[in-house]
Chains A and B, each alone.
Chain A
């Protein structure tokens, strides 16, 4: 029998309180979720039990990383509403922001990839069979390269929340998956962008796996009225900071 939301919520609260207490006692803050986070049941057998081995080698290959260029994207890739013959259903939005490294430097010319459910909360994926309609005019995949200021921009529709089987009556808050590259492979990031004020935040073990309140808030985009276009789209801003060391040199003109 599926476990209840009550059980999952109690575990979420317990782990959040334990983290808050550890920080209050002088422990370190964490920006990322623990890989061992039991309320997200799929993590139980899929996290290492041993500590990571820290590499301090300045010659490590991981301090460099893959590069992408104009042949890897087309102009249409960043507009998810124009990939089919008709207009997708839903609320048209733009999402824009800057990709920065830990030192606040813009990440230039790098690949940003997104994917998401449609307005009804259904993915264009065979394994998503929940009874919400597919949209023939929406696939939900986008790509772009960041500009010289590290800026990215997408036009899409607001995704819907959707059910999943972590526990009984489990629903994911609406989100857009983001995949990002820095100048170093160590800066690689896959994450999810959430929408402000979603009532599902507190029930969701994936979002709550980030037990630091401030860090969790950094996954939530801001609604920016000036980014909304009259009679066209709602505007959101979301800046992204890549973790991980990068080589100190910057190859200009990348």
Chain B
């Protein structure tokens, strides 16, 4: 029986390896139900983190968790990533933060469970962190109901306008900012 291989930080130089064209476009092209989830990733001083990379995993609108291949579809002629073909819902997204610590994801609302699972990697973070962006409050959700109101609020994406949700991630809290709830899985 093997023991786990330890985690190490993603470091600062993943930028030419991990991000891919259309990584933040999970929603099939032109789907009118598409929503935008966006926000900032911030550190314990409240400063935006320009070298974080976020991954997203979610159920399809019909509740399916099977996913689909093709998120990183490649051109067999040149080897470059040409992105999703725009039909299948792969359920997977990957978005590096911009120089101002901002990210944006374009997706379809998940079916079944009302949240998008988020995995955070960053320079300075030795082991990735999981959190969840809930697009709607879910009264019966076992995780949300287990949390105090101010902690629970960190997992609720805020509707800004029709189809646009704001979800900031605080890797570390301070006097002003509540630290985002991060998850472990038993």
Chain A interface (Cβ < 8 Å from any Cβ of B):
31-35, 37, 40, 42-50, 52-57, 59-74, 76-77, 83, 100, 102-104, 111, 113-115, 117, 123-125, 127-128, 139-141, 143, 177, 179, 185-186, 188-192, 206-207, 209-210, 214-216, 218-219, 239-245, 251
**A216, B16: Cβ atoms closer than 8 Å:** no
Known: A72-B70, A139-B16, A245-B186. A206 touches B8 (CB 8 A): yes
Cβ contacts A to B, 17 pairs, < 8 Å: A31-B5, A42-B124, A47-B172, A48-B172, A49-B173, A61-B115, A72-B71, A74-B79, A123-B16, A125-B16, A177-B10, A185-B119, A185-B130, A188-B55, A190-B8, A210-B6, A239-B2
Q: Is B184 an interface residue (CB 8 A)?
A: yes
Across the A-B interface, the 4 shortest Cβ-Cβ residue pairs:
A69-B69, A42-B124, A115-B17, A66-B92
Q: Which bucket holds chain B's interface residue count?
A: 35 or more
The interface bits of chain B over 79-116 (1 if a CB of A lies within 8 angstroms of the residue's CB, else 0) are: 10000000000111000000000000000001011010
List CB contacts (< 8 Å) of B11-31 with chain A: 11-18
**B183, A73: Cβ atoms closer than 8 Å:** no
Question: How would you classify the secondary structure of chain B's contact residues: helix, strand, loop or mixed?
Answer: loop
**A57, B142: Cβ atoms closer than 8 Å:** yes
Q: Is B143 an interface residue (CB 8 A)?
A: yes
Q: Is B126 an interface residue (CB 8 A)?
A: yes
**A46, B44: Cβ atoms closer than 8 Å:** yes
Give the chain A neighbours of B65 by CB distance below 8 A: 61, 64
**A72, B73: Cβ atoms closer than 8 Å:** yes
Q: Is B39 an interface residue (CB 8 A)?
A: no
**A52, B4: Cβ atoms closer than 8 Å:** no
Report how far A40 CA is from B125 CA in the complex, Å: 9
Report how far A208 CA is from B133 CA in the complex, Å: 33
**A53, B182: Cβ atoms closer than 8 Å:** yes
Known: A49-B179, A52-B183, A124-B16. A67 touches B69 (CB 8 A): yes
Report how far A8 CA is from B180 CA in the complex, Å: 30
Q: Is B121 an interface residue (CB 8 A)?
A: yes
The interface bits of chain B over 147-186 (1 if a CB of A lies within 8 angstroms of the residue's CB, else 0) are: 1000000000000000000000001110000011111111
Known: A55-B185, A189-B5. A127 touches B171 (CB 8 A): no
Name the contact of A188 in the complex, choosing from B67, B90, B119, B124 (C-beta under 8 A): B119
Name the contact of A71 in the complex, choosing from B14, B67, B69, B91 (C-beta under 8 A): B69
Q: Is B76 an interface residue (CB 8 A)?
A: yes
Give the chain B neighbours of A251 by CB distance below 8 A: 66
Known: A57-B143, A71-B73. A241 touches B4 (CB 8 A): yes
**B3, A241: Cβ atoms closer than 8 Å:** yes
**B66, A31: Cβ atoms closer than 8 Å:** no
Q: How far is the CB of A156 from chain B (nearest CB, A)?
A: 13
**A113, B17: Cβ atoms closer than 8 Å:** yes
Give the chain A neighbours of B143 by CB distance below 8 A: 53, 55, 57
The interface bits of chain B over 41-74 (1 if a CB of A lies within 8 angstroms of the residue's CB, else 0) are: 0011101010000010111000001111111111
**A33, B147: Cβ atoms closer than 8 Å:** no
